[in-house]
């Protein structure tokens, strides 16, 4: 029943995106997010969106999976789009359509339609690129990269390494705990527990026999893990090296150059064509 | 009529690709009333998947399960009935205890059956008796019991439903020898006193040889062998191929026979071995 939940939706592969250094991927994803908000006209927006599509094609991740990651935000996108169409007003807007409904004037302006298109494309591009990041990077690689990127904060006495370790362990135990939950649910169902029917309150109450053993076993696992780590001299102090070494390679700089080029192109396009929003 | 019967039971886990073999395939199992059936097999051979079908936790993708001749997937009521007719006790059952007291935890099953209070109390006491838990344990917290006591209390929680068939998934795993012995004794006593069917998954061949009336050997999701101890352990080579073994005494007697001693080929327990050795001594047989 709860099998099939995937945390960290890694899609195994050996594409150029998979092989990019995880730190570079995070930085470039952030850069892309800035770039997409720099776009002022359709030429610039089109180029940025095209870049996202190219990356998606390069990654080898099936288009279906990327579209699926957009599904949860679809309602948000539609909602903001509709609002933008009707609520954009200004001194020199071009009115395309006007309709008097009771005492409210429904107005569709050219600027409104453009803003709606811009927001929609921007949000979709953001989702696509950030889901590409998680599709092409394993969760453990992501946390390692985050740790390395945040390392300068350690100078300010922020326990970056400890946070990263906590992240890694939390991710590590998600599948274990899902399995455990399933086992306990089956065990209680075998004793006649009714977990699937009844009112909300009944179902919450019915889950006590699952939650109590789950917490007990989570604490037991945590204690066991802590002693296993301590017996291997883990203290949380000192700089730690990592099994998976992150190394910047020539192609990583190629990606960086590509992103710089894209940014420069956007700035140029913004300059040469009239801004529409 | 068989207490538990499966007919060409097949199960394919959902979300597995087309080429993946089914978790279990074409299992025909038949346990007569009062019989003690042991299921053995390598890790991942499908034993646990099989037993989860017996009380309707998993819905077969092919074939059918019958409890006392009744198809358990007939309707909603028959599914719920299967939960109580077949008492399934998972591996490491002590980790499923959640109530504040042992008594309340054992009573969880009977309470879910909707029994009256005095009947629940009677069943709790009876179940505690079967597993050899003293009454002084009942008001204690499950977390204050020893490892072996916890295990027995958890088994009592399933026995208290007084199921027509009791299914135990590796009930002695992870216990010390004394704890193992206690569990084996209680299974034998439970069966003797209630006359109910017991199914037992085990990795311990000595245990299987000692307890089983019938043995089912699972291999790669299929029933590879089925029969009495003599029929199954007589095929030592085939068992070893499947990553299993025979009881140590059977192995020893096989070697003695290979060395030329006229010993029986049907020695599976220590008691049988002792009797056979006594016979050899009495008859004055020596190594050739």
Give B111-169 as a DSSP string. HHTT--HHHHHHHHHHHHHHTT--GGGTTS-GGGS-HHHHHHHHHHHHHTT--SEEEEE
What's the average model confidence in pLDDT over A78-99?
Answer: 77
Please tell me the distance in Å from A12's CA to the nearest CA on chain B: 17
Q: What is the pLDDT of residues A23-42, one digit of tens each?
A: 999 999 999 999 999 888 88
pLDDT higher than threshold 50 for residue A4? no
pLDDT of residue A92: 66
Q: What is the pLDDT of residues B28-56, one digit of tens each?
A: 999 999 999 999 999 889 999 999 999 99
B108 touches chain A (CB under 8 A): yes
Residue B180 pLDDT grade (very low, low, confident, very high; cuts 50, 70, 90):
very high
Name the more confident of A236 and A79: A79
Instruction: Provide the token pair at A6.
Output: 């995937």
pLDDT higher than threshold 80 for residue B270? yes
Helix, strand, or coil here: B24?
strand
Residue among B14, B80, B93 whose CB faces A187 most closely: B93
CB contact residues (below 8 A), chain A span 198-257, against chain B: 208-209, 212-213, 216-217
- Contacting residues of A for B17, CB less than 8 Å apart: none
What's the average model confidence in pLDDT over B224-242?
Answer: 91
Residue A90 pLDDT grade (very low, low, confident, very high; cuts 50, 70, 90):
low
Least confident of A103-107, A268-272, B137-141, B226-230: A103-107
pLDDT higher than threshold 80 for residue B114? yes
> How many whole angstroms separate alpha carbon B228 and alpha carbon B224?
14
Residue of A nearest to B54 (CA): A190
Average pLDDT, chain A: 85
> How many whole angstroms separate alpha carbon A126 and alpha carbon A136?
16
Give the mutation candidate from A177, A187, A198, A213 for the B interface (greatest B CB count, under 10 A). A187
Give the E-state strand segments of chain B in sequence order. 4-11, 24-31, 36-41, 62-67, 70-71, 86-89, 165-169, 197-201, 214-219, 222-227
- Contacting residues of B for A186, CB less than 8 Å apart: 52, 57, 90
Phi-psi region of A42 (alpha: psi -120 to 50; beta: other; left: phi over 0): alpha
Share of chain A above pLDDT 90, in %: 30
> How many whole angstroms separate alpha carbon B6 and alpha carbon B67?
9
Residue B17 pLDDT grade (very low, low, confident, very high; cuts 50, 70, 90):
low
Phi-psi region of B26 (alpha: psi -120 to 50; beta: other; left: phi over 0): left
Residue A231 pLDDT grade (very low, low, confident, very high; cuts 50, 70, 90):
very high
pLDDT of residue A74: 85
Each domain of chain A, given as residue ranges in start order, spans 10-137+247-277, 161-244
Residue A8 pLDDT grade (very low, low, confident, very high; cuts 50, 70, 90):
low
What's the average model confidence in pLDDT over A227-254?
Answer: 84
What's the average model confidence in pLDDT over B268-279?
Answer: 91
Distance between start and end Cα atoms, chain B: 51
**How many Cβ pairs within 8 Å bridge chains A and B?**
55
Q: Are B16 and B218 in contact (CB under 8 A)?
A: no
Q: Are A139 and A147 in contact (CB under 8 A)?
A: no
What's the average model confidence in pLDDT over B219-246?
Answer: 91
- Contacting residues of A for B88, CB less than 8 Å apart: 190
Say how many C-beta atoms besides its own lie within 10 A of residue B82's C-beta.
Answer: 24
> How many whole angstroms separate alpha carbon A136 and alpha carbon A14?
9
> How many whole angstroms separate alpha carbon A124 and alpha carbon A113?
17
pLDDT of residue B288: 66
Q: What is the pLDDT of residues A55-75, one digit of tens each?
A: 999 888 888 888 888 888 888
B115 touches chain A (CB under 8 A): no
Provide the whole-model pTM: 0.76
Q: What is the pLDDT of residues A200-226, one digit of tens each?
A: 888 888 889 999 999 999 999 999 999
What's the average model confidence in pLDDT over B146-163?
Answer: 94
Inter-chain CB proximity B157 and A189 less than 8 Å: no
pLDDT of residue A91: 66
Say how many C-beta atoms besides its own lie within 10 A of residue A55's C-beta.
Answer: 23
Residue B10 pLDDT grade (very low, low, confident, very high; cuts 50, 70, 90):
very high
Residue A51 pLDDT grade (very low, low, confident, very high; cuts 50, 70, 90):
very high
Residue A5 pLDDT grade (very low, low, confident, very high; cuts 50, 70, 90):
very low
Residue among A4, A183, A192 whose CB faces B109 most closely: A192
pLDDT of residue A1: 42
pLDDT of residue B137: 92
> How many whole angstroms separate alpha carbon A121 and alpha carbon A115?
10
Nearest of A40, A19, A43, A17 to residue A130 by alpha carbon? A17
Please tell me the distance in Å from A5's CA to the nearest CA on chain B: 11
Q: Are B34 and B68 in contact (CB under 8 A)?
A: no
pLDDT of residue A76: 86
Inter-chain CB proximity B98 and A212 less than 8 Å: yes
pLDDT of residue A2: 47
Ranges A131-145, B113-127, B261-275, most confident: B113-127
Q: Are B131 and B152 in contact (CB under 8 A)?
A: yes
Average pLDDT, chain B: 92
Q: How many residues are given for chain B? A: 288
Instruction: Provide the token pair at A179.
Output: 């399995």
Inter-chain CB proximity A212 and B161 less than 8 Å: no
Instruction: Provide the token pair at B227.
Output: 């029969």
Q: Are A87 and A112 in contact (CB under 8 A)?
A: yes
Distance of CA B250 to the CA centre of its chain: 21
């Amino acid at each position: 029943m709860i099998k099939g939940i995937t945390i960290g939706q890694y899609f195994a592969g050996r594409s150029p995106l998979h092989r990019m250094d995880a730190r570079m991927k995070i930085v470039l994803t952030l850069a892309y997010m800035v770039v997409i908000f720099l776009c002022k006209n359709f030429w610039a927006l089109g180029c940025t969106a095209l870049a996202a599509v190219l990356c998606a094609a390069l990654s080898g991740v099936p288009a279906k999976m990327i579209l699926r990651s957009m599904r949860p935000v679809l309602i948000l996108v539609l909602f903001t789009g509709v609002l933008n169409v009707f609520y954009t007003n200004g001194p020199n807007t071009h009115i395309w359509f006007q309709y008097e409904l009771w005492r409210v004037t429904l107005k569709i302006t050219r600027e409104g339609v453009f803003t709606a298109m811009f927001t929609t494309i921007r949000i979709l591009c953001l989702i696509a690129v950030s889901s590409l990041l998680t599709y092409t990077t394993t969760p453990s690689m992501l946390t390692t990269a985050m740790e390395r990127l945040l390392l300068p904060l350690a100078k300010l006495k922020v326990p970056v390494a400890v946070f990263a370790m906590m992240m890694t362990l939390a991710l590590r135990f998600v599948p274990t705990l899902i399995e455990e939950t399933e086992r306990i649910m089956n065990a209680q169902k075998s004793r006649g527990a009714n977990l699937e029917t009844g009112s909300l309150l009944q179902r919450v109450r019915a889950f006590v026999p699952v939650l109590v053993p789950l917490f007990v076993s989570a604490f037991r696992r945590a204690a066991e893990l802590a002693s296993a780590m301590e017996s291997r001299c883990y203290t949380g102090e000192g700089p730690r090296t990592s099994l998976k070494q992150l190394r910047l390679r020539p192609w990583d700089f190629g990606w960086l150059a590509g992103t710089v080029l894209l940014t420069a192109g956007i700035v140029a396009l913004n300059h040469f064509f009239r801004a529409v929003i | 009529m068989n207490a538990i019967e499966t007919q060409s039971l097949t199960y394919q886990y959902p979300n597995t690709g087309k080429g993946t073999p089914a978790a279990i395939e074409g299992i025909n199992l038949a346990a007569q009333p009062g019989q003690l059936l042991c299921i053995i097999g390598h890790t991942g051979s499908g034993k646990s998947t099989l037993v989860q079908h017996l009380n309707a936790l998993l819905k077969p993708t092919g074939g059918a399960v019958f409890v006392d001749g009744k198809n358990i997937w007939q309707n909603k009521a028959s599914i719920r009935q299967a939960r109580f007719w077949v008492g399934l006790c998972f591996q490491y059952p002590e980790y499923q205890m959640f109530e504040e007291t042992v008594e309340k935890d054992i009573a969880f099953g009977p309470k879910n059956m909707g029994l009256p209070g005095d009947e629940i109390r009677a069943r709790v006491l009876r179940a505690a008796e079967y597993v050899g838990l003293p009454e002084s344990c009942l008001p204690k917290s499950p977390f204050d019991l020893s490892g072996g006591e916890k295990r027995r209390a958890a088994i009592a929680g399933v026995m208290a439903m007084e199921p027509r068939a009791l299914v135990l998934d590796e009930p002695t795993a992870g216990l010390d020898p004394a704890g193992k012995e206690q569990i084996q004794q209680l299974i034998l006593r439970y069966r003797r006193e209630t006359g109910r069917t017991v199914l037992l998954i085990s990795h311990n061949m000595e245990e299987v040889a000692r307890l089983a009336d019938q043995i089912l050997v699972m291999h790669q999701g299929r029933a590879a062998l089925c029969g009495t101890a003599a029929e199954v352990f007589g095929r030592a080579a085939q068992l070893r191929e499947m990553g299993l073994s025979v009881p140590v005494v059977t192995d020893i007697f096989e070697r003695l026979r290979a060395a030329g001693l006229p010993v029986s080929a049907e020695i599976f327990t220590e008691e049988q071995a002792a009797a056979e050795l006594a016979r050899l001594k009495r008859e004055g047989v020596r190594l050739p």
